[in-house]
Each structure stands twice: as C-alpha cells, then as structure tokens.
Amino acid sequence: MNRISVIILGIFAVVIASLMGLVIVPNWQFEEMQPVEIISADGSKAVYPQKLDSWREAPGREVYRGLGCIYCHSQQVRPEGFGADIDRGWGSRRSVPRDYVFQSPPYLGTMRTGPDLANIGIRQPIEEWHLMHLFDPQITSPGSTMPSFKFLFETHEGSEPMTSIGIPAIQLPKAYTKKPTWIVPKKEAMDLVAYFLTLHQKFDLKDVK
C-alpha cells in the first residue's frame, strides 16, 4: 500500500469517527431522552422540560431566530472550572442535554457579545422589563451594546393609548422623553418576551454530576 492510500484511509477513518462521535451517537442519545417529573421539597410536582405553547412561546422562538439573537447570545451554562458562567449568575448549575429535549434545534449559540440567556426567565421575570429592554436597551441597561428593536413597537405621545386585552401600554421614563410617551408592543415583541420567560434551567437534575 503506497503512502497516498494510507493518507486517504486515514482521512476517511477520521471523518467516520467524527461523524459517529459528534453527530450520530449524540443524536441517538438525545432522541431517547424524555422529560422528568420533579418533586420539590414542599411536595409539589412539575414536569421538566415542557413544550412551548403555540400561542406566543413557539412563535416567539421563531422571532428569536429571525432576529438573529443567537449571534450574540448563547443558551448554555458551562460547568464550574470551564468559565465563570455560574459566578456571573447565569445559572445555578451547568446545562445538560435534557434541558433541550423539546428544542429542535437547540439554540446553544457560540458567541457571547451579550449575556447567556439559558436562565433569563429567572434572572429577569418581569414582562415590562423585557419590553423596555427591547425598545431601547439603554433604558434598562445603560452602556449596553445591544441594538434597539423599536420597530417591534408603536409609539404614542400624550395620554395613555387604548390597547387590546393582554397588550400593555408602557410609559417611557420621563428622563428619556420630553413629552409623555407610551410604547405599545406588536405581536412579535409580545411573542419574543413570552419565549424569554420560558428560558430557565432551574431544576436540579440527576443528569448533573
């Protein structure tokens, strides 16, 4: 066997081993995973994780994808010793495959221009905060490099506008505008925030070793 044949066989072996180890076997293990029942210290029970509802949460995940949020935010908490994620308060434990059972594909992300969002639903559980943050991050997080998403809102000056049931009208801070100004989120903004509020990995799982 000449040298070229050995090199070709070596490359072929590396490709097959990588495909098996990084794609086929992990995918097979992931497909077998199921949600688990969590029993809290007070006796209450919950199933984790849960599917997103089709009204706001699942559409919100599509808005997240469409706006390219994944290019600046990850959704994975690294274990202790592999970064400062837990010290930063981005989660109380590392992420495990079961956290992503119903996410296809999971938006793990690789860039962290902004903070990790795996537990944003716990860190910031207030809907109004998220809406203000989307309208202009400088209102809630001065110095943030995140762009504003004002096109997801209607703006009204003067008195509080009438809105549909479940749609808030939020007055901007007086320091932000000279005239009384209200923002009303469009459906995409409400969907996106609903999705944010589902993001948590708060339960201790046996998978975490």
Shared domain check, 162 and 108: yes
Residue 166 lies in a domain: yes
Q: Is 156 part of any domain?
A: yes
Does residue 134 sit in the same domain as residue 195? Answer: yes
d(CA 77, CA 90): 7
Q: What is the pLDDT of residue 28?
A: 73
- pLDDT > 70: percent of the chain: 99
Tell whether 161 is covered by a domain.
yes
Same domain, 9 and 60: no
Q: Are residues 77 and 124 in the same domain?
A: yes
d(CA 181, CA 160): 8
Averaged over 87-91, what is the pLDDT? 94
Q: Do 102 and 20 fall within a single domain?
A: no
139, 202: one domain: yes
- Domain-embedded: residue 114: yes
Q: What is the structure's pLDDT at 110? A: 85
Residue range 137-143: mean pLDDT, rounded: 96
Residue 149: pLDDT band (50, 70, 90) is very high
Kindly indicate the confidence band of residue 150, based on its pLDDT and cuts at 50, 70 and 90. Answer: very high
| Mean pLDDT of all residues in 118-131 | 97
For 208, counting Cβ atoms within 10 Å of its Cβ (0-12 exposed, 13-18 middle, 19+ buried), the class is: middle
Assign residue 137 the CATH number of its domain: 1.10.760.10
Confidence of residue 1 (pLDDT cuts 50, 70, 90): low
Q: What is the pLDDT, as a whole number, of residue 55?
A: 96
Asked if 14 and 76 sit in the same domain, the reply is no
* 102 and 147 co-located in one domain: yes
124 within a domain of the structure (yes/no): yes
For residue 88, tell me if it sits in a domain: yes
Residue 37 included in any domain? no
What domain range includes position 10?
3-32
The tens digit of pLDDT for each residue in 182-201 reads 999 999 999 999 999 999 99
pLDDT tens readout for residues 20-78: 887 787 777 677 789 999 998 888 999 999 999 999 999 999 999 999 999 999 999 99
Tally of domains in the chain: 2
Q: Could you tell me if residue 183 is inside a domain?
A: yes
**Would you say 160 and 171 are in contact if contact means Cβ atoms under 8 Å apart?**
yes
Same domain for 131 and 171, yes or no, is yes
Where do the H-state alpha helices sit in the chain? 3-19, 25-32, 57-66, 120-123, 127-135, 137-140, 187-198
| Pair 101, 194 in one domain | yes
Tokens coding 105 = 């594909």
